[in-house]
Structure 1
Amino acid sequence: MAIPDEVLAVLDAKFAAVLPHLDERQRRLYLASEAEALGHGGIAAVARLAEVSESTVARGREELAGGTQALGRVRRPGGGRKSAAERDPGLVAALELLIEPREVGDPVSPLRWTTASLRDLSRELTDAGHPVSAPVVGSLLRAMGFSLQGMAKTQAGSQVPDRDAQFRHINTAAERFLAGGLPVVSVDTKQKEPIGDFARPGRTYRPKGQPITAPDHDFVGPDTPVAIPYGIYDLGRDSGWVNVGTDRNTAAFAVESLRRWWKIQGRLDYPSVDRLLVTADSGGANSADSRLFKMGLADFADECGLRITVMHFPPGTSKWNKVEHRLFSRITHSLRGQPLTSYEVLLETISATRTSTGLTVHAALDENAYPTGRVLTRAERKSAERRVKRDEFHGEWNYTIAPQDPDQQLPADPRDESGPPVPAEATFLLTHPALTGMPREQFEQLVLQLEPCQQVLTEVERQSAGRDGRGRNPGFGTLDHRHRVLVAVLRSRNTVTLTLAAELMGRKRNVLSYHAGRSKPMLAFAGPELARVLVFRRTRPPRTLEALKRVIKHHDNEINSGSS
């Protein structure tokens, strides 16, 4: 157990006052008695404060334990071994070259990149002709005014334009809303918390010698349940609402947290308002660039009849958001030193958070699924942008979403539609054996055989970037499994141009080209019979419907003449 800083400070003051008046043996015995009183770690602490070696204090403990008689000798002034700096006048200068390379070191010297630990410094000094031990290096560094220090996060990141102006803009809007009795909330996601018997930082009062125990190793695996607290802090009422998710931190989860707060708490606190101000950071689930977040807010505005104004803090300034130091800091204080063995423990602990200024917190569990990989279609993106009214001052950070008139219908984007079904005449024509190299019955069997492969391919595409939940690229129209196999076969055999096939099927050529390329790997699972069929490749495929019909007629004539 670490020795408290207060005890060390008292000892330092006592040593400074007493040690100058003691002789060598008295100093040794006195330091040994203090080390004995401190217990474990006392020798090292006393030696460091008194600036003596640990062996001196240990020898004093042995003399106290053995009861040896005093030798009766007191070293005269100036006696004893000279210090390392006195024996080697160039030692201090060599040490300064190592610890301050940017000011006085050689830019190309390997010593410039030496890790500044005591052992490394001792080794480098010895190699440079100044043999010295690590403890002596430590004493020299302390005499030079150095000490072990961690990094302090005080440097501000690169400032974006109008950073401070955005702060003032948010503050002015919040004051205006609060003065009018309108709700102003600050939102953000707190750090994920693993649920289970895991050790947590912090200390709590317990009976002496009875700490809360936890396993010595914390292994958070993929199956470990997690809690994702999304906080909503009401500035006007000094109250917090935490929606604890169990799945993923997505834009849908952020919007659902706001919706739950409004339905359960917000509309009770503000029964007759039609406006809401939300302050958030610029990243994460409620990112300023997230169209999914804006589209979810549009649905929320329509559902609750609220005119929602959103103001994002500039990038790199999320710690200025009120929810961080008004709500999350107090929740962290409540969770200190307590293992979160279940969701119920987490919810009860969060709900018990209080402050002397009147903060109250409510927590609720959200077990809904929020899958990732959701990609908006072109029509959805345009619809979301049309609902957003951007402010004149940094519209990318400040915007308002108003409820939509139920009778108002936004025109759909025809480029995003999958199109009408493929005409049966086109399918019958393109599945002719002259084009596919197989009877129509065999082609239908091939479609059934490759259906499991298509399901796997669709799942892979759904999880890849740029795909929506149906496993397609929003930039290209959809195509059913049967026709995906068909265009893959036609493209491999080159028996008809994709331009002509697209014209017959009522699609664009790039749509067929995309799906043919994505479906071609499936054909390898059909076996050697299909491989023999695909070996054939026409050099000059028909480019017009008339040419296609002539190819089919010629094929039928050959079949009929051969059968006769």
Structure 2
Amino acid sequence: MFCHITANWRGRPLISYQVVIETIAATTTRTGLSIGAELDTGRYDLGTTVPPAEFHALPITPHAFHGDWNYTLAPVAPRHPEPTPSRQQIDPTLTAMLTDPALTGMSRAAFDHLVAISEPYWDALAEAAFQRRFHRPRSYLHPQTSSLDHYHRLLTALLRRRRAVTSTLLAQLLKVGRTNLSNQFQDGHRLLDLHRVAVTPLPGTPARTLTQLHARIPSHDDTCTDQL
């Protein structure tokens, strides 16, 4: 399209927006190409950049020939009602312990707010990852993201970035596979970057046992151990 526009206005001074619009709209080819053009009078901020996490969330499918130039940007397909995959029922006592500000580095209210504003982005990331792998929109929850809800997926990513606990211990506490959990950390880290969450790693090595995890929470009551 652009090569035909360039050929059509070759040698013609583009002295006004109106000339540009009329020249573009007058571009045709013998095979039936026609182009519409109109002036956009909106005002837009300069220097706006797209965060990497938001860019990678786009459902882009590269073509076989020069996929960096030729690709399809697909809309997110509507979700058809289907049975909701079963998710792990997390003990509220465990959730309360893992969301302790001493572990997450933020108040529980701040974490709840982060969960609320980031959930749509997580869905987009999961959709994009599925389309990159299977080259079609998904019509169900991806198996890798169905074992935990968004709240606990984001919580595990935050705890890992804080170096509060090992992946192995998290998987044991949440009763999910370690590989399943690790597959979700990458998107979780992207969301933390997208929302500019400043995370300061805890000193020392991540907790490998429940006892070591309790030791990282100054106000933790050891009587909770039996409940976990």
Query: How many angstroms does 1:545 deviate by?
Result: 1.2
- Given candidates 416, 431, 447, the residue that maps to 2:115 is 447
CA distance in 2, matches of 1:465, 1:422: 30
Find out whether 1:217 has 2:31 as its counterpart.
Answer: yes
Query: How many pairs does the alignment contain?
Result: 143
Find out whether 1:524 has 2:193 as its counterpart.
Answer: yes
The 8 Å contact of residues 450 and 522 in structure 1, kept in 2 or not, is answered as yes
Give runs of aligned pairs for residues 103-142 of structure 1, distance below 5 A: none
Higher relative contact order (CA 8 A, sep 6+): 2
Q: Tell me which protein shows more strand as a share of its residues.
A: 1
Give the match for residue 457 of structure 1: 125
TM score, norm. by length of structure 1: 0.23
Give the match for residue 59 of structure 2: none
Give the match for residue 180 of structure 2: 511
Structure 2 CA distance for partners of 1:525 and 1:475, relative to 1, 3 Å: closer
Structure label with greater radius of gyration? 1
Find out whether 1:498 has 2:152 as its counterpart.
Answer: no
- Given candidates 186, 192, 205, the residue that maps to 1:540 is 205
The 8 Å contact of residues 496 and 542 in structure 1, kept in 2 or not, is answered as yes
CA distance in 2, matches of 1:418, 1:220: 51
Identical amino acids, percent of aligned pairs = 33
- Given candidates 88, 96, 109, the residue that maps to 1:420 is 88
Q: Which runs of 5+ in 1 are unaligned?
A: 1-214, 222-370, 372-416, 558-564
Query: How many angstroms does 1:535 deviate by?
Result: 2.5
Give the match for residue 469 of structure 1: 139
TM score, norm. by length of structure 2: 0.53
The 8 Å contact of residues 435 and 495 in structure 1, kept in 2 or not, is answered as yes
CA distance in 1, matches of 2:201, 2:144: 32
The 8 Å contact of residues 499 and 509 in structure 1, kept in 2 or not, is answered as yes
Query: How many angstroms does 1:518 deviate by?
Result: 2.1
- Given candidates 214, 217, 225, the residue that maps to 1:549 is 214
- Given candidates 80, 89, 97, the residue that maps to 1:429 is 97
Give runs of aligned pairs for residues 152-167 of structure 1, distance below 5 A: none
Query: How many angstroms does 1:507 deviate by?
Result: 0.8
The 8 Å contact of residues 419 and 507 in structure 1, kept in 2 or not, is answered as no
Q: Deviations over 1:380-404 (max 9, x none)?
A: xxxxxxxxxxxxxxxxxxxxxxxxx
The one-letter code of the counterpart of 2:208 is R
Give runs of aligned pairs for residues 109-258 of structure 1, distance below 5 A: 216-219=30-33
Query: How many angstroms does 1:219 deviate by?
Result: 4.8
The one-letter code of the counterpart of 1:435 is L
SS at 1:479 equivalent? coil
Query: How many angstroms does 1:496 deviate by?
Result: 0.9
Query: How many angstroms does 1:512 deviate by?
Result: 1.4
CA distance in 2, matches of 1:457, 1:419: 19
Q: Deviations over 1:103-129 (max 9, x none)?
A: xxxxxxxxxxxxxxxxxxxxxxxxxxx
CA distance in 1, matches of 2:190, 2:204: 22
Structure 2 CA distance for partners of 1:508 and 1:418, relative to 1, 3 Å: farther
RMSD of the alignment, in Å? 3.0
Structure 2 CA distance for partners of 1:426 and 1:556, relative to 1, 3 Å: closer
Structure 2 CA distance for partners of 1:217 and 1:457, relative to 1, 3 Å: same
Query: How many angstroms does 1:520 deviate by?
Result: 1.0
The 8 Å contact of residues 497 and 541 in structure 1, kept in 2 or not, is answered as yes
CA distance in 2, matches of 1:480, 1:431: 15
The 8 Å contact of residues 165 and 213 in structure 2, kept in 1 or not, is answered as yes
The 8 Å contact of residues 99 and 108 in structure 2, kept in 1 or not, is answered as yes
Q: Deviations over 1:66-120 (max 9, x none)?
A: xxxxxxxxxxxxxxxxxxxxxxxxxxxxxxxxxxxxxxxxxxxxxxxxxxxxxxx
Query: How many angstroms does 1:420 deviate by?
Result: 2.8
The 8 Å contact of residues 492 and 537 in structure 1, kept in 2 or not, is answered as no
Hey, which bits of structure 1, 4+ residues long, moved more than 6 A?
none
CA distance in 2, matches of 1:522, 1:458: 12
SS at 1:450 equivalent? helix
Query: How many angstroms does 1:526 deviate by?
Result: 2.1
